[in-house]
Structure 1
Amino acid sequence: MRNRSRSRFVWRRRVLAGVILIAVLMAGYFLWFRDSSLVAVDEVEVEGATANQDQIDAALTQASDGMTTLNVDEEALARSVSGFPTVASIGVDASPPGKLTVTVSERLPVAQVKVDGESAAVSADGYVLPGFETEGSKLPPLDEDAGVDAGLLNAEGAAQAAAVGGAPEELRERITAAEWDPERGGVVISLEGAPELRFGDGERSDVKWEAVVSVLARIEGAPAYVDVSVPDRAVSGG
């Protein structure tokens, strides 16, 4: 009985050792294979980029050099396009053996501003967006208080852009201008066929636009302005 028990013990140890050896070999094989030229990235497809597309394609292709579809450095890819203000974020999908699909989420233009005498598109979060065409567009202009420093709008300009950016699609094309006027509470938006709209700052702009829609639907007479700086207590007057 003692010999039989000892034999079982030895047999179990051998099985365990074999399992461990197989696991180590498989792990080593995977570590080798994931960096193997057999799964090297040889094609990068970029989707979603409408501005600066050629430059973004080139940057991502260069950044992917040396990667494989089993070992993708997404942070390196994101860094490669971080210098493009139009790129808000990217998503990466690897398809072995060699294809990467990179989906770009763009910052979209909501208004335009003068930069060194030239019109430039700006996003709702205050980025100047080189690469987007403004000529012939319906992007509303921001006023001269909307300054630009290092590719970003100043506080007054950012508030205007945020207020414009929160507009629902059906009203955005009716916006003709935005301006900053402290005497009228901050951001003032001109909307075709409506009183002037006073937004205060650019915070909660989507909620403020909901208040605008509600007030315009039940407004009586022809008030000079609608003030939604406190959207829960929107008022009209003048």
Structure 2
Amino acid sequence: MHRAAAMPRVRSVPRLPRAAVWALALLALLVAGALWLRDSSLVSVQKVTVVGLTGPEAPRVTRQLEDAARDMTTLHVRGDQLRSVVEPYPVVKDLRVSTDFPHGLKITVVENTPVAAISVGDDRTPVSADGKLLRGADQRQLPIVPLRVAPGGNTIVDATARHAIAALAAAPTALRARVERASTTREGGLTLKLRNGPDLRFGGADRLAAKWAAATAVLASSASAGATYLDLRYPERPAAGGLEDPATQRDPEAVNSADPTQPTPTPGATAPVTP
């Protein structure tokens, strides 16, 4: 006779202590409650504040952000959804969101700052420092960068215009506000025309920080009074041009009446100015 095969011994699974069972049950209940509260009407967004927007598109963008935010709660803010609302508006650079529990939400819009306006005929479009067209941005008084042909995309690719935009982006804010227009010639390179001031002849779009520092210093000096342009191509040796008397910064008739033997200075000459 064959012996019956021995049955394998089944190991018993140790039971969790009752306290641990209750702890797990309580944890599951808390998680479920938190998930319910996160999206419940008890913390629904009811008051939305949108700040930082300017320009003609501001009312429309504000309204769209408010509508999107009211579908959220202060415990479950979906930033990606809010950013998708402003994606069609290049003037918006970023959003910063803060909550005021239980029903308040504040959205701070960070705008791309326009440094110039691209001009094609009578049409003007603000542009940022990186060459992005900011359609819908505030049409404030901006330096004009002329183009012969309207850009086909959302970014300026014309090299000459990009150089002018880079120079304007590097300008001190107070001086940039005085620039009326940028122009470029093969002979003189980039020139920025100041409002109630001399033209700034930059030449190339290199050493921009040094050129703006030289321009700031020379404009602040009385030695440049009456100049029609500043030659900043070599910022360590800036020169003021178009002066009546580059040697003394005085009227040439006054000089000759004081000393008739002195030759009449050549109008329009360039005088080096020490910043």
The normalised TM-score by structure 2 is 0.67
Deviation at 1:90? 1.0
Q: Which residue of 1 aligns with 2:156?
A: 153
Q: CA contact under 8 A between 2:43 and 2:73: conserved in structure 1?
A: yes
Deviation at 1:73? 0.9
Q: Judging changes above 3 Å, is the alpha-carbon distance between structure 1 residues 234 and 189 closer, same or farther for their aligned structure 2 residues?
A: farther
- 2:87 alignment partner, SS class: coil
| Structure-2 separation of matches of 1:220 and 1:168 | 21
| Structure-1 separation of matches of 2:76 and 2:167 | 42
Q: Judging changes above 3 Å, is the alpha-carbon distance between structure 1 residues 178 and 78 closer, same or farther for their aligned structure 2 residues?
A: same
Q: Which residue of 1 aligns with 2:233?
A: 227
2:107 pairs with 1:99: no
Structure (1 or 2) with the larger CA radius of gyration:
2
| Structure-2 separation of matches of 1:145 and 1:171 | 26
Q: What's the CA shift string for 1:176-216, capped at 9, x where partnerless?
A: 2212445445x432335345331633x77556523543565
Q: What's the CA shift string for 1:76-129, capped at 9, x where partnerless?
A: 101210111221111011222222210011123322222463223323232333
Most deviating of 54-63 and 74-83: 54-63
| Structure-2 separation of matches of 1:59 and 1:234 | 52
Q: Judging changes above 3 Å, is the alpha-carbon distance between structure 1 residues 18 and 170 closer, same or farther for their aligned structure 2 residues?
A: same
Identity of aligned residues (%): 30
Structure 1: segments with no counterpart, 5+ residues: 1-8
Deviation at 1:141? 1.3
Q: Which residue of 2 aligns with 1:121?
A: 126
Q: Which residue of 1 aligns with 2:142?
A: 139
Q: Which residue of 1 aligns with 2:81?
A: 76
Structure 2: segments with no counterpart, 5+ residues: 1-13, 240-269, 271-275
Q: Judging changes above 3 Å, is the alpha-carbon distance between structure 1 residues 92 and 205 closer, same or farther for their aligned structure 2 residues?
A: farther
- 1:179 alignment partner, SS class: strand
- 2:119 alignment partner, SS class: strand
Q: Judging changes above 3 Å, is the alpha-carbon distance between structure 1 residues 116 and 60 closer, same or farther for their aligned structure 2 residues?
A: farther
Q: CA contact under 8 A between 1:140 and 1:176: conserved in structure 2?
A: yes
Q: CA contact under 8 A between 1:147 and 1:153: conserved in structure 2?
A: no
Q: Judging changes above 3 Å, is the alpha-carbon distance between structure 1 residues 133 and 29 closer, same or farther for their aligned structure 2 residues?
A: closer
Instruction: Please list, as runs of the form range in 1=range in 2, the aligned pairs for 1:152-191 lying within 5 A after superposition.
Output: 152-155=155-158, 156-181=160-185, 183-185=187-189, 187-191=190-194
Q: Which residue of 2 aligns with 1:21?
A: 25
Q: What's the CA shift string for 1:42-84, capped at 9, x where partnerless?
A: 2321001012111111221233353211111111101210111
Structure 2 counterpart of 1:130, from 135, 152, 157: 135
Q: CA contact under 8 A between 1:34 and 1:70: conserved in structure 2?
A: yes
Aligned residues: 221
Most deviating of 41-50 and 144-153: 144-153
Q: CA contact under 8 A between 1:147 and 1:154: conserved in structure 2?
A: no
| Structure-1 separation of matches of 2:121 and 2:75 | 46
Q: Which amino acid aligns with 2:129?
A: A
- 1:148 alignment partner, SS class: coil
The normalised TM-score by structure 1 is 0.75
